[in-house]
Amino acid sequence: MPRPLVATINIAAMQHNLAVAAERASAAKVWAVVKANAYGHGLLHGMQGFAGADGLSLIEFDKAVDLREAGWQKPILMLEGCFDHADLVTAARYRLGFAVHCAEQIRMLELAIRERAISGPLDIHLKLNSGMNRLGFRPDAFRAAHARLRSLEAVRDITLMTHFANAEAPDNAGLPLERQVRCFEDATTGLEGERTVANSATDLLHPQLHADWVRPGIMLYGGKCGSGAAADFGLRPAMTLRSELIGIQDLQKGDAVGYGSRFIAPGPMRIGVVACGYADGYPRHAPDGTPVLVDGVRTGLVGRVSMDMLMVDLTPAPSAQLGTTVTLWGEGLPIDAVAEPAGTIGYELMCALAPRVRVVAAPQPH
């Protein structure tokens, strides 16, 4: 018997969410983001769910090769560019577009071309640091970088790219969205090439900023970005994490539960022990009351999450017994409803799903 903990991936929900992203983006093309093992959903599930996208984008070169070997023919974009010379060779060989975000990457590219280690046509995304101060050329260095790339015969298309820090909260005092937008416009005016600036929050909330390509990630998996719930945008959860009750305890008033005895029974009650813990990716910081579904009935966590187990209040589910299904997040329980009390975001929970958790595609309706 394998452990009863399973993450079920709903390919139809991914297709649906992609359609929502594409519809919001109107004429723009869609890079479906599948970095981090398709946000924990499995790379090949991502390829299946987003077969209708115009391209796939990610970070990891070995995974990009996996996509090509699995038959993905359409464009691939490497969002952080090439980390070393070997990546450039891989990019040229497997027709991977890649970001160029710093002078060192241009030098590496020029050298590889000069040494004939790679040849064109190469498609490049030239990245502007429009204020987030993560990756990208500063505005005063952007045009020179563009000219330097343009002078390389092996370079075919140069797409102009930036990334927004606060698309879900555009009035952020540290860096208003509007300031980044203006910065990008100023730095790119008059330069030829397509543009891409939009993550999920931009795609959903700022239709005027869609440009030529959008780059949605979290929304495709049914996670929220911004203050609204994912369901408000018609997004469906792509991952449902389910387990079972593997133990039941009848408590008396004053009985303590789990490590540190964080929860003390206020009176007689039944609790269930669920096969899922922080070594599976469930957040250890989840407080008492974090929502859980037992046989579809909403109840809450009691006591600290341990490595392989967590405990839940069975008061609202009196017929629960050993083997009863428990939903940790997904269908019927948005992942964000678990992330928020635990002080994190849906992104982190999806991505942190541990390798020991079985990930299986749901049977497809015919």
Q: How far is the CB of 104 from ligand PLP (least distance, A)?
A: 19
Given a contact cutoff of 8 angstroms between Cβ atoms, the answer to whether 257 and 314 are in contact is: no
Contact between 225 and ligand PLP by CB under 6 A: the answer reads yes
Report in angstroms how near the CB of residue 2 gets to ligand PLP at its nearest: 31
Output 134 or 182, the one with its CB closest to ligand PLP. Answer: 134
Per CB under 6 A, the segment of 209-217, 230-238, 287-295, 313-321 that binds ligand PLP is: 209-217
To ligand PLP, the closest distance from the beta carbon of 275 in angstroms equals: 29
224 is a site residue for ligand PLP (CB under 6 A): no
The dihedral sign for the CA sequence 157, 158, 160, 161:
positive
The residue count for the chain: 366
Rounded least distance, CB 86 to ligand PLP, Å: 21
3-state DSSP call for residue 57?
Answer: strand
Could you tell me which of 80, 5, 16, 70 has the C-alpha nearest to residue 43? Answer: 70
Nearest to ligand PLP by Cβ — which residue? 217
Q: Which stretch binds ligand PLP (CB under 6 A): 12-20, 210-218, 232-240, 264-272?
A: 210-218
Query: Any bridge partners for residue 333, and if so which?
Result: 330
| Contact yes or no for 248/258 (Cβ under 8 A) | no
Residue 17 as a binder of ligand PLP (CB under 6 A): the answer is: no
Active site residue 259: yes
Residue type, 95: R
Residue 39 catalytic? no
Question: If binding is defined by CB under 6 A, does position 216 make contact with ligand PLP?
Answer: yes
Contact region for ligand PLP (CB under 6 A) — 48-56, 139-147, 217-225, 226-234? 217-225
Q: How many residues bind ligand PLP (CB under 6 A)?
A: 11
C-beta of residue 73 within 8 angstroms of C-beta of residue 48: no
Q: Is residue 292 a contact residue for ligand PLP (CB under 6 A)?
A: no
What angle, rounded to 10 degrees, do the helices at 61-69 and 85-93 form?
A: 20
Residue 200 is a binding residue for ligand PLP (CB under 6 A)? yes
Binding flag, residue 199, ligand PLP (CB under 6 A):
yes
The contacts of residue 345 (CB under 8 Å, 6+ apart) are 223, 336, 339
* Cα gap 209→168, rounded to integer Å: 13
Measured CA to CA, the distance from residue 88 to residue 119 in angstroms comes to 10
Return d(Cα 62, Cα 41) in angstroms, integer. Answer: 17
Amino acid at 11: I
188 in contact with ligand PLP (CB under 6 A):
no
**What is the Cβ-side half-sphere exposure of residue 296, based on CA atoms within 13 angstroms?**
0
Residue 130 lies near ligand PLP (rule: CB under 6 A): no
CA distance 14 to 240: 12
Least distance between ligand PLP and beta carbon 77 (Å): 9
| Closest separation in Å from C-beta 326 to ligand PLP | 28
Candidate list 217, 258, 272, 281; residue touching ligand PLP; CB under 6 A: 217
Which residue's CB is nearer to ligand PLP, number 33 or number 326? 33
How far apart are the C-alpha atoms of 275 and 311, rounded to whole Å? 9
Phi, psi of 97 (to 5 degrees): -70, 155
Q: Which is nearer to ligand PLP, 11 or 225 (CB)?
A: 225
Residue 33 in contact with ligand PLP, rule: CB under 6 A:
yes
Q: Which of 16, 63, 146, 163 binds ligand PLP (CB under 6 A)?
A: 163
Residues with active-site annotation: 35, 259
Q: Kindly list the residues in this chain that would bind ligand PLP in the complex (CB under 6 A).
A: 33, 35, 79, 163, 199-200, 215-218, 225
